[in-house]
Amino acid sequence: MASITTTQPQASAQTSGVWAWIWQRITAVLLVFFLGTHIFVLHFVPANMIINFAGVAVRFQSALYMIIDTGLLAFSLYHGLNGVRNVIFDFVTAAGTRRIINWLLWIVGLIYLIWGAYALMFFLK
């Protein structure tokens, strides 16, 4: 009688994406905090009711507001691009292709982070 043996692939932090999964959850919690703070400051603080260039420039003079908006930018970029990565990885199984996609998403994310940070830093004097 012949026996059939199969080997199960061993999951590791690198192949199973544990860190991407953990950071997806961490950034979700941080997004709730940063977005909530952003909305509160914009809509419920009376001094920030002026929505024009001068009003925005005054708001961005605060280091705390700059940190909140930069954090919102960084965490939303990571969270969104990691979600795109997860969807793509559901359909792409080749390790080499996954590595290329991973690098491309990191490069796109860094480009947009630098571009967004540059736009935010415009208000600093």
Mean pLDDT by groups of 10 residues along the chain of 125 residues: 64 68 95 92 77 82 89 96 95 94 97 94 80
pTM given for the model: 0.79
Q: Where are the domains of the chain?
A: 95-125
Contacts of 20 (CB under 8 A, 6+ apart): 82, 85, 86
**Could you give the CA distance from residue 73 to residue 31 in angstroms, rounded to a whole number?**
9
Q: How far apart are CA 54 and CA 87, in angstroms?
A: 41
One-letter amino acid for residue 73 of the chain: L
Q: What does the buried/exposed string (b/e) look like for 39-64 if buried means 16 or more CB atoms within 10 Å of the residue's CB? A: eebeeeeeebeeeeeeeeeebbeeee
